[in-house]
Amino acid sequence: MDDDSRDRPSVPTSRSERARTAALEAALALAAELPYPQVTMEAIAARAGVGKATLYRRWPRRGSLLVDAVAHRNAHAAVGDGGIPDTGDLAADLTAVLRSVVDELAVPAWDALLRALCVEALVDAAVGAQVLEQVFAPQIAVFAHRFATARTAGHIDASVGDVEVFELFVAPVFHRWQLRTGALDHAYADAVVRRACHALAPAATTRSGGAGSGRSGRTPRATPGPRG
Amino acid sequence: MDDDSRDRPSVPTSRSERARTAALEAALALAAELPYPQVTMEAIAARAGVGKATLYRRWPRRGSLLVDAVAHRNAHAAVGDGGIPDTGDLAADLTAVLRSVVDELAVPAWDALLRALCVEALVDAAVGAQVLEQVFAPQIAVFAHRFATARTAGHIDASVGDVEVFELFVAPVFHRWQLRTGALDHAYADAVVRRACHALAPAATTRSGGAGSGRSGRTPRATPGPRG
Amino acid sequence: MDDDSRDRPSVPTSRSERARTAALEAALALAAELPYPQVTMEAIAARAGVGKATLYRRWPRRGSLLVDAVAHRNAHAAVGDGGIPDTGDLAADLTAVLRSVVDELAVPAWDALLRALCVEALVDAAVGAQVLEQVFAPQIAVFAHRFATARTAGHIDASVGDVEVFELFVAPVFHRWQLRTGALDHAYADAVVRRACHALAPAATTRSGGAGSGRSGRTPRATPGPRG
Amino acid sequence: MDDDSRDRPSVPTSRSERARTAALEAALALAAELPYPQVTMEAIAARAGVGKATLYRRWPRRGSLLVDAVAHRNAHAAVGDGGIPDTGDLAADLTAVLRSVVDELAVPAWDALLRALCVEALVDAAVGAQVLEQVFAPQIAVFAHRFATARTAGHIDASVGDVEVFELFVAPVFHRWQLRTGALDHAYADAVVRRACHALAPAATTRSGGAGSGRSGRTPRATPGPRG
DNA sequence: CCCTAAACGAGACGGTACGTCAGGTCTTATA
DNA sequence: TATAAGACCTGACGTACCGTCTCGTTTAGGG
């Protein structure tokens, strides 16, 4: 699952490239094993065996380095994770994906890394844009591909954009992960998917009032879907 | 709706209390007007006219101070904002609330403050718990109160917990606010409420066709392992 | 020369007096057992079980408190040390005194206390004056009394003032003690007395050139005096 | 005796050396113009335009910095002050030297500097050793050189060591300077030299009658115990 | 094949903030 | 009323990190 399959120059050739790789991997390692305030440029340089100036020459701030590090990791790890399975059952497919997301967030190293990324994104809007572009946008694209199929199959409301659909599935998990408002497990992933699919069902009689307006608000839809 | 209604000595009496209030308000002011890395304990102390030791005597870290500051602000600002209107139309009520949330998040000072809070919560789990308890829990409680009415009125699925309902409405806004994945305006708030209410509608007749539950209600495969 | 000679209410009666005594003795104890920078007003107050304000009410600065503490100690300890013996042999008498001075300076507690006193005297001229008046002046007076006898007996040059004579005996010891230029023992005390007495011998043939001009300088003296 | 005689790159070349020099000179300037407690590392760093860390990197404590500063000053100021004149008249030569010492001690800046040095030497024995080695030892060496001549010329007792002779001349001045027991002027310097030379005169005819050695050369009683 | 120019590691530099400690003042409650 | 206790503001402490800047030392890449 490396960046190359046959010649494998996994150990970069030029000195510059070696320094760059060492920095990225040192950043990943430190973010995984230390509280984030201790993941300093100085510590990264030391761990990487690299001069501080080399870091600042490539990355204007710590956040950029971290984003690059995560992108580097994803590039090397995401082979085989080319997308979302398409069994024809959107709920099943997304349940699988969200479950694996939940599982990943339970890995301390990845959890810490993502939190660090969020910190940087929150602190500096430029880094936020970078995170969005390099980390989330690819994920959204992956989802979008699956949504396209679902939309043509009539499984989801065609009027809802990709980002909105993505949010419907991911935002609750993200929210619960970040705020720790409750257990973040497979059951929760299942429930999120169930409710999201429910929300996205093509509007047969979708009154804008939804659950709201009518006091005679009867919900005509019958099958509540599976319980997690 | 200020901090005092009639007698209310808004300027605290004891020196300690005066220092405490000054610190909290200095923290709020600085978080509103400076990039967060410049909101240092030293700057807060200087702005408050307070010794650093006084800050550290009361708050073990910057995050705790910030949480207290936000709670302080909420305590003084939330008078009259006692809850969510209950017109009988859940969607309308929550639309109003989410719109006001969106409006608040558009205020730079409040935006910056909340981002600072999130940073601290991400960096230190203890602060995260404090944020949850002092900032979000009250909000959840407010929502829960309205949800209770809606549930007894049969407007939402009684089997979904308060936190889950809260997340359904708030998480997308939170996600979009934090990641800036798109415009955060009234239209978005309306859409979020619409979909959430749709998702929460008591399942009278769940059509199996939609995104609901694929082939059957079976639990999708897990694939729990992280991608590595 | 205590504040009382017979009934000895060494444990003072009034609360103020008790606080005062506790402070002085705490200062002595701490100066004896800690490096001087750690002998803080705070530590003294804590050790004495006394409020800081009580210290500052009585003594404007640490130096004053320390001088008082040393004077307090001397007042309580100097009983029986009424003066310099007068056997008629000035050299012998002063040798005895200087030896005991040297011995005292070898006691770590007293050494530390005196160094602390010197620090305060050097840092603040007002404390220096206080030290001179309360600690050294009494010593000089004691010496002066013996010098008066020696002067009438014709053993020392009548034209040299008390302070000058005092310095001749004490300054070398003080100098060597403070700068640690060499061993500070009985042999040194003996040598100092020998040379000082030599210098103070009434001017039979005291040429102002002293050791200067004569080229026939033979050293005929045999008995070099006791060693160590 | 400067570091350079003709081209004089008095402004050091490397950044480190520039920082070092700036620190030393800032220390000298501050010690000269402020009460010693205000001569803080922070003030020195600020005055020198140097980071605090740079100070602590070079000097473990304030005292070491001060000693270096004085040595630095001496190295740069001692041009032409290569030693003690040797006119053949020891008393005259040393009178000139002691007078100039007295004059220097009357310069407030130098007075303050020396007092600061003494404070540090008293507070920390390690600094005391450094002071002895870097400040006093060179002075003693200068005196020793002149003493050697005097000794071979038979002007002073050959059995007295250099340090002892040095103390005989310097200790009274030092004592009077530090304790302010009296006026420190040329007259005093003259008297000190007169008495010291008298004390050092090779004992041609040691009259036993005087203050010399009492009854006989016997060792006076010890009374070594401290008064307690 | 050297030779120059760039990039590198190492780390000192001027700063700023950290979290602690003590100075000296002021408040509170006790005795 | 004077006290013990201790919080208060101030400011220095000594450390750590920031981002910049020398240093020599590799390391490429063009003569």
- Two structure tokens written together for B161: 């917990």
Of D79, D94, D75, the C-alpha closest to D197 is D94
pLDDT of amino acid D20: 97
| Distance, CA of D155 to CA of D90 (rounded, Å) | 8
Query: A169 and A192 in contact (C-beta within 8 Å)?
Result: yes
Confidence of residue B203 (pLDDT cuts 50, 70, 90): low
Q: For residue D51, which nucleotide's C1' is closest to its Cα?
A: E14
pLDDT of amino acid A193: 95
pLDDT of amino acid C203: 63
At residue A6, does pLDDT exceed 80? no
pLDDT of amino acid A53: 96
Phi first, then psi: what are they for B174, rounded to 5°? Answer: -60, -45
Please name the residues between 180 and 199 in chain D that touch chain C, using a CB distance below 8 Å: 180-182, 191, 193-199
At residue A77, does pLDDT exceed 90? no
Q: For residue D45, which nucleotide's C1' is closest to its Cα?
A: E14
Q: What is the mean pLDDT of residues C113-125?
A: 95
| Distance, CA of A192 to CA of A185 (rounded, Å) | 11
pLDDT of amino acid A78: 61
DSSP-based three-state secondary structure for B206: strand
Percent of chain D at pLDDT above 90?
68
pLDDT of amino acid D198: 87
At residue B78, does pLDDT exceed 90? no
| Distance, CA of D179 to CA of D175 (rounded, Å) | 6
Average pLDDT, chain C: 83
Q: What is the mean pLDDT of residues C39-60?
A: 95
Contact A99 B206 (CB under 8 A): no
Residues A102 and A187 placed together within one structural domain of the fold:
yes
Helices (H), chain D: 15-33, 41-48, 52-58, 62-77, 90-106, 108-123, 125-131, 137-152, 162-179, 186-200
Q: For residue B152, list chain A residues with Cβ-Cβ distance below 8 A.
A: none
A216: exposed, middle or buried (Cβ count in 10 Å: 0-12, 13-18, 19+): exposed
**C83 in a domain, yes or no?**
no
Question: For chain B, what is the domain count?
Answer: 1
Residues A97 and A194 placed together within one structural domain of the fold:
yes
pLDDT, one tens digit per residue, over B96-130 is 999 999 999 999 999 999 999 999 999 999 999 99
- Two structure tokens written together for A220: 């005509």
Cα atoms found within 13 Å of the Cα of residue B37, Cβ hemisphere only? 10
Q: What is the mean pLDDT of residues A195-217?
A: 58
Confidence of residue B226 (pLDDT cuts 50, 70, 90): very low
pLDDT of amino acid D205: 45
At residue C4, does pLDDT exceed 70? no
Phi first, then psi: what are they for B204, rounded to 5°? Answer: -80, -55
Residue C10: CB atoms within 10 Å: 10
Cα dihedral sign, A206-A212-A218-A219? positive
At residue D58, does pLDDT exceed 60? yes
Distance D128 CA to E12 C1' (A): 29
Residues D113 and D153 placed together within one structural domain of the fold:
yes
Q: At a CB cut-off of 8 Å and minimum separation 6, what does D103 contact?
A: none
| Distance, CA of D14 to CA of A98 (rounded, Å) | 60
Amino acid (1-letter code) at residue C82:
G
- Two structure tokens written together for A186: 């497979």
- Judge C/A contact: 3 or more CB pairs < 8 A: no
| Distance, CA of B172 to CA of A174 (rounded, Å) | 9
Q: Is D178 touching C (CB cutoff 8 A)?
A: yes
pLDDT, one tens digit per residue, over D148-180 is 999 999 888 888 899 999 999 999 999 999 999
Q: What is the mean pLDDT of residues A24-42?
A: 97
| Distance, CA of B105 to CA of B82 (rounded, Å) | 19
Residue C62 domain boundaries = 15-77
Minimum mean pLDDT range among A35-39, B121-125, B206-210: B206-210
Please name the residues between 40 and 79 in chain D that touch chain C, using a CB distance below 8 Å: none
Report the first-to-last Cα separation within chain A, whole angstroms: 33
Of D203, D163, D195, D174, the C-alpha closest to D94 is D195
Q: What is the mean pLDDT of residues B144-172?
A: 92
| Distance, CA of C62 to CA of C60 (rounded, Å) | 7
| Distance, CA of C75 to CA of A72 (rounded, Å) | 79
Residue C80: CB atoms within 10 Å: 8
Q: At a CB cut-off of 8 Å and minimum separation 6, what does B55 contact?
A: B23, B41, B44, B45, B65
pLDDT, one tens digit per residue, over A96-111 is 999 999 999 999 999 9
Confidence of residue A89 (pLDDT cuts 50, 70, 90): very high
**D219 in a domain, yes or no?**
no
pLDDT of amino acid A224: 39
Q: b or e along B139-149 (b: 16 or more beta carbons within 10 Å of the residue's beta carbon)?
A: ebebbbebbee
Residues C102 and C143 placed together within one structural domain of the fold:
yes
> Which CATH number do you get for residue C139?
1.10.357.10
pLDDT of amino acid D212: 41
Query: D156 and D202 in contact (C-beta within 8 Å)?
Result: yes
pLDDT of amino acid D9: 46
Residues C23 and C102 placed together within one structural domain of the fold:
no
**Is the CB of B105 less than 7 A from some atom of nucleic acid strand F?**
no
Higher-pLDDT residue of B221, D40: D40
pLDDT of amino acid C201: 80
pLDDT of amino acid D82: 66
Query: B186 and B99 in contact (C-beta within 8 Å)?
Result: yes
Q: For residue B49, which nucleotide's C1' is closest to its Cα?
A: F9
Q: At a CB cut-off of 8 Å and minimum separation 6, what does B85 contact?
A: B93, B96, B97
Within D 153-172, residues with CB less than 7 Å from strand E: none
Which DSSP state fits D214?
S
- Two structure tokens written together for A187: 């059951």
At residue D210, does pLDDT exceed 60? no
| Distance, CA of B56 to CA of B39 (rounded, Å) | 15
Of D119, D159, D202, the CB nearest to C119: D119
pLDDT of amino acid C2: 42
**A152 in a domain, yes or no?**
yes
The H or E element that residue C99 is part of is helix C90-106
pLDDT, one tens digit per residue, over D86-102 is 998 999 999 999 999 99
**B223 in a domain, yes or no?**
no
| Distance, CA of C211 to CA of D89 (rounded, Å) | 9
At residue A50, does pLDDT exceed 70? yes
pLDDT of amino acid C11: 58
Distances, alpha carbon C143 to alpha carbons C158, D40, D45, D228, in Å? 15, 40, 48, 20
pLDDT of amino acid A82: 66
| Distance, CA of A172 to CA of A188 (rounded, Å) | 9
Percent of chain D at pLDDT above 70?
81
At residue B41, does pLDDT exceed 60? yes
Q: What is the mean pLDDT of residues A24-45?
A: 97
Q: What is the mean pLDDT of residues C27-39?
A: 95
Which DSSP state fits D164?
H
Length of chain C counted residue by residue: 228
Residues A69 and A111 placed together within one structural domain of the fold:
no
Residues A66 and A106 placed together within one structural domain of the fold:
no
| Distance, CA of A116 to CA of A133 (rounded, Å) | 16
| Distance, CA of A107 to CA of A113 (rounded, Å) | 10
**C7 in a domain, yes or no?**
no
Residues C53 and C129 placed together within one structural domain of the fold:
no
Residues C105 and C164 placed together within one structural domain of the fold:
yes
Confidence of residue D203 (pLDDT cuts 50, 70, 90): low
Please name the residues between 127 and 156 in chain B that touch chain A, using a CB distance below 8 Å: 128-129, 131-132, 136, 140, 150, 153-156
Distances, alpha carbon C10 to alpha carbons C5, C21, C22, C108, in Å? 10, 9, 12, 26
Query: C48 and C22 in contact (C-beta within 8 Å)?
Result: yes
pLDDT of amino acid C226: 40
**D211 in a domain, yes or no?**
no
**B227 in a domain, yes or no?**
no
**A210 in a domain, yes or no?**
no
Distances, alpha carbon A178 to alpha carbons A184, B124, C45, D129, in Å? 10, 11, 49, 59
- Two structure tokens written together for B78: 């939330």
At residue B216, does pLDDT exceed 60? no
Of B178, D201, B130, B129, the C-alpha closest to C206 is D201
Confidence of residue A134 (pLDDT cuts 50, 70, 90): very high
Confidence of residue D83 (pLDDT cuts 50, 70, 90): confident
Phi first, then psi: what are they for B206, rounded to 5°? Answer: -70, 115
Query: C18 and C12 in contact (C-beta within 8 Å)?
Result: yes
Q: What is the mean pLDDT of residues D67-85?
A: 81
- Two structure tokens written together for B205: 């007749």
Higher-pLDDT residue of D82, C45: C45
At residue D143, does pLDDT exceed 80? yes
**Is the CB of D53 less than 7 A from some atom of nucleic acid strand F?**
yes
Distance A67 CA to E20 C1' (A): 36
At residue D219, does pLDDT exceed 60? no
Phi first, then psi: what are they for D200, rounded to 5°? Answer: -95, -5
Beta-bridge mates of residue B206:
A222
pLDDT, one tens digit per residue, over D107-129 is 999 999 999 999 999 999 999 99
